[in-house]
Amino acid sequence: MRWKQNPSMVLVALLAVTGAVPLAVHAQAPDASASVDADATPSDADLAATNCAIGEERFLPGDYYYCLGTQTYGQQRYGNAKKFFATAASWASKPAQYVLGIMALNGDHQPVNRPLALAWLALASERPNSDFKSAYDSAYHSATAVERQAAEQLLTQMRPVYADATAAVRAERRYAQGMAMLSRMNNIGGSMYCMEGVSTLAQQTSNPSTCRPVQAVVQAVDRTAVNVFDGWSGHVSVGPLQEAAVPQSTSHGGN
């Protein structure tokens, strides 16, 4: 399968940039200092080496499950990979919807299913200026009238689960809940947050802490969320957290 580079799967890399000990990040994840060919096809070993932080599921489950799909595909656990991609797709992951479409189109470890491929690619490309629009257009022009009609029938069933009108709203709600939790921690003086699954070199020392400053986590999640929700008008970034003002005590005389 020709793998489409996912620009959003970079939370672990961003945590490294924003204050964590450097991480061994999957080569496919872009960073500010590396230029990666968007059409490059990574090996199974590259995909299997993907690092997925389970703690990300609390904030951006679409990105997290897409990461698991990538990892398990590289491990040649194709059934699990499809399940993870489908879960990611239900959280509005456009890269996951694209991958599912290409797998169905090419018969990648499954029978060729052109109507299903067309339906997934339609969902992947629904946002304005989508990077996946050309793939959908190509598949649509190559499809027969019968295949197009079958794809529309599938979309009737799939949109309530996978289209942005429901999936992106669901994902935004999860993101907002996670960021509100970080805001509450920040307001009560909790300066560190431990994200499960973020492995650092510190784990090889006498201090196994994987905790990062709350502000660093907020910045990393926010930057990743911009890519996850790219092109969807309903996303609102949180931005830097502000510490709550401490109420000033007032004294009353003349009791």
Please provide the DSSP assignment of 132-162 as one string. Answer: THHHHHHHHHHS-HHHHHHHHHHHHHHHHHH
pLDDT band at 19 (very low <50, low <70, confident <90, very high): very low
Q: Are 23 and 16 in contact (CB under 8 A)?
A: yes
Q: Are 144 and 138 in contact (CB under 8 A)?
A: no
Task: Measure the CA–CA gap between 124 and 101, rounded to whole angstroms.
Answer: 8
The residue to which tokens 């969902």 are assigned? 123
Q: What is the pLDDT of residues 77-110, one digit of tens each?
A: 999 999 999 999 999 999 999 999 999 999 999 9
Supply the pLDDT for residue 99. 96
The structural domains of the chain, with segments of one domain joined by +, span 1-242
Supply the pLDDT for residue 15. 45
Q: What is the DSSP string of 190-238?
A: --EEE-TT---GGGGSS----EEEHHHHHHHHHHHHHHHTTT-TT----
pLDDT band at 40 (very low <50, low <70, confident <90, very high): low
Supply the pLDDT for residue 240. 56
Report which of residues 11 and 127 the model is more confident about.
127
Q: What is the mean pLDDT of residues 144-162?
A: 98
Task: Measure the CA–CA gap between 182 and 150, rounded to whole angstroms.
Answer: 45
Task: Measure the CA–CA gap between 64 and 57, rounded to whole angstroms.
Answer: 6
Q: Is the pLDDT of residue 14 over 80?
A: no
Q: Is the pLDDT of residue 171 over 70?
A: yes
Supply the pLDDT for residue 216. 87
Supply the pLDDT for residue 210. 62
Give Cα separations from 72 to 1, 50, 65, 96, 104 (angstroms).
14, 9, 10, 13, 17
